[in-house]
């Protein structure tokens, strides 16, 4: 299959590209490189440096490469930034997807796997989160993704052969087990990379935001899914899509790890006792968030394999230790 991976030069997108190539698919990457890395795209894979809002250029790319399916990762993804710059998020995430779908319609491409998020659920009242949990985003990032889910449903209603899957996933972590690609964000806000940067001495300390939550150790609990498992899920879902399909799946490991558990794992893996301090809670941080991913297992047989937080951290550490400056490391 010929697959266009939008955001394929980014963290999750690059791992999806690696997985698709291993399965024998032909891949084209589309990325405006605003936060992606040219170095993350394998040699021999075409890279189209295009913004999704350039509908004509996207249409030409889809047509020129005879694309069969789109895997759509391209998005801004910082919750705090979305609160400060909501228009950018609606323009890029929602508007960009409208541009992509318009181009797909023009080019006759009717299959898409969309990178959605658990942020569409907001602050659920019950755990674990199922696909039937009410979607009530509490920030523009979550809304920008939920709007896309609605748009996909409307496009499917207008075209009986259009098929899509929206994959709502939780905290993505780790790097390719072979150390070839990894996580390189600026700024970096994800917990495990922040901890590893502290172990490398790149930041002087790590702050725990609140230790009085109603959880076993008082710190927030989150569902950490390894990026390779996530890439596997995208490939499996893509292969299963049939004309007219409308699929929604949660992707996670089905349980959570607390901030302190992750800190302990990072210290053990790195062998560095970096400094940790406690600060006040951050507004909008729910005590616990973790997925029920039974639906995708029941329907497609997918289940997360890399679920040990020490192993997840080890794969990330392998990348960070060998690439302390990300893709700009010598």
* 249 a catalytic residue: no
Angle between helices 191-199 and 259-270 (to 10 degrees): 40
C-alpha pair distances (Å), 133 with each of 119, 235, 291, 295: 12, 25, 10, 13
**How many CA atoms lie within 13 Å of 48's alpha carbon, on the beta-carbon side?**
22
How far is it, in rounded angstroms, from Cα 155 to Cα 110?
10
How far is it, in rounded angstroms, from Cα 312 to Cα 317?
9
Phi/psi for 246 (5° steps) reads -135, 100
Please say whether the beta carbons of 280 and 210 come within 8 A: yes
Q: Which residues contact 10 (CB under 8 A, 6 or more apart)?
A: 31, 35, 36, 37, 40, 73, 74
In the chain the first and final C-alpha atoms are separated, in Å, by: 35
**How many CA atoms lie within 13 Å of 196's alpha carbon, on the beta-carbon side?**
29
Active-site residue, selected from the candidate residues 141, 213, 224, 249:
141
How far is it, in rounded angstroms, from Cα 152 to Cα 221?
31
**Other beta carbons within 10 Å of 272:** 14
How far is it, in rounded angstroms, from Cα 152 to Cα 210?
38
Q: Which residues contact 241 (CB under 8 A, 6 or more apart)?
A: 69, 111, 113, 163, 164, 165, 247
- Residue length, the chain? 330
How far is it, in rounded angstroms, from Cα 16 to Cα 3?
11
Q: Which residues are catalytic?
A: 141
């Amino acid at each position: 299959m010929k697959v266009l991976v939008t955001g394929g030069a980014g963290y999750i997108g690059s791992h999806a590209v690696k997985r698709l190539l291993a399965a024998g698919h032909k891949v084209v990457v589309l990325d405006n490189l605003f936060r992606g890395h040219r170095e993350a795209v394998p040699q021999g894979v075409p890279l189209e440096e295009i913004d999704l809002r350039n509908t004509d250029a996207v249409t030409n790319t889809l047509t020129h490469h005879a694309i069969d399916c789109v895997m759509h990762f391209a998005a801004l993804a910082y919750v705090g930034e979305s609160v400060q710059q909501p228009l950018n998020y609606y323009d890029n995430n929602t508007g960009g997807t409208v541009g992509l779908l318009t181009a797909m319609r023009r080019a006759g491409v009717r299959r898409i796997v969309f990178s959605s998020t658990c942020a569409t659920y907001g602050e659920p009242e019950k755990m674990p989160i199922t696909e039937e949990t009410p979607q009530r985003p509490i920030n523009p990032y979550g809304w920008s993704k939920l709007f896309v889910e609605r748009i996909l449903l409307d496009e499917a209603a207008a075209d009986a052969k259009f098929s899509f899957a929206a994959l709502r996933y939780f905290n993505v972590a780790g790097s390719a087990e072979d150390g070839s690609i990894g996580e390189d964000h600026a700024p970096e806000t994800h917990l495990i990379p922040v901890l590893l940067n502290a172990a490398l001495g790149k930041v002087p300390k790590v702050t725990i935001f609140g230790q009085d939550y109603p959880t076993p150790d008082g710190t927030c609990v989150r569902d950490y899914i390894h990026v390779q498992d996530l890439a596997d899920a995208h490939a499996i879902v893509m292969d299963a899509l049939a004309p007219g399909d409308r699929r929604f799946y949660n992707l996670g490991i089905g349980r959570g790890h607390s901030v302190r558990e992750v800190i302990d794992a990072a210290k053990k893996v790195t062998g560095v006792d970096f400094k940790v301090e406690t600060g006040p809670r951050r507004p909008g941080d729910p005590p616990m968030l973790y997925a029920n991913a039974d639906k995708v297992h029941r329907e497609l047989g997918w289940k997360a394999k890399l679920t040990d937080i020490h192993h997840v951290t080890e794969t990330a550490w392998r990348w960070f230790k060998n690439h302390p400056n990300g893709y700009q490391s010598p």
